[in-house]
Amino acid sequence: MHRKAHDLGALTCATKAHELTPKEPVMSVAIVRNVYDAFARGDLAAAFKDFHPQIEWREAENFAYADGNPYIGPDRVLHGVFARLGTDFDDFKAIPQEFVGSGDTVIALGRYLGRVRATGKTIDARFAHVWRVDGNQIRAFEQVTDTAQFHTAARL
């Protein structure tokens, strides 16, 4: 292997240049990307197909759905998070804009869009989702988002 140096002004760092193996980020990113694609189509079965039976799902601290943290297993995630989203929001979307993969970890950066059903107020909030992939299954998820925007939009 050879090293590439990157000049970042006063900071110089060296990275190893190498080919990715199937267990590295490309496969993990593809698995996570498939989840978002399935959600966008409204296909929950396809979205959940790669969830490990004991997936550990964490909503952002102070988020309305964090009351069940951690959600363990796809059924708890479905009922504790997604069923509530369907009840509380009209046209809710999680739109990933960038994926960053490192080994078994994938970070998706994007935006939530939607309208709170009870107030009619809209949401347009950034998110960071941290996914942990083990083999071909998603073992864990953690959400980071602007919870204050959600609280404000939900107030009558």
- Going residue by residue through the chain, which has 156 residues, state the pLDDT in tens, using 9 for 90 and above: 443 433 333 333 333 333 444 455 789 999 999 999 999 999 999 999 999 999 999 999 999 999 999 999 999 999 999 999 999 999 999 999 999 999 999 999 999 999 999 999 999 999 999 999 999 999 999 999 999 999 999 996
Inside any domain, residue 12: no
**Positive or negative: CA dihedral 111, 49, 43, 26:** positive
Cα atoms in the Cβ-side hemisphere of radius 13 Å centred on 55: 25
Inside any domain, residue 46: yes
**Structurally, how many domains does the chain consist of?**
1
Q: What's the CATH code of the domain at 101?
A: 3.10.450.50
Inside any domain, residue 130: yes
Inside any domain, residue 2: no
Task: Determine the structural domain holding residue 71 and report its residue range.
Answer: 21-154
Inside any domain, residue 74: yes
Inside any domain, residue 6: no
The set of residues, in sequence order, having a beta carbon less than 8 Å from that of 46 and lying 6+ positions away, is: 34, 38
Confidence (pLDDT) at 25: 73
Confidence (pLDDT) at 24: 57
Cβ proximity of 68 and 80 under 8 Å: yes
The pTM of this model reads 0.83
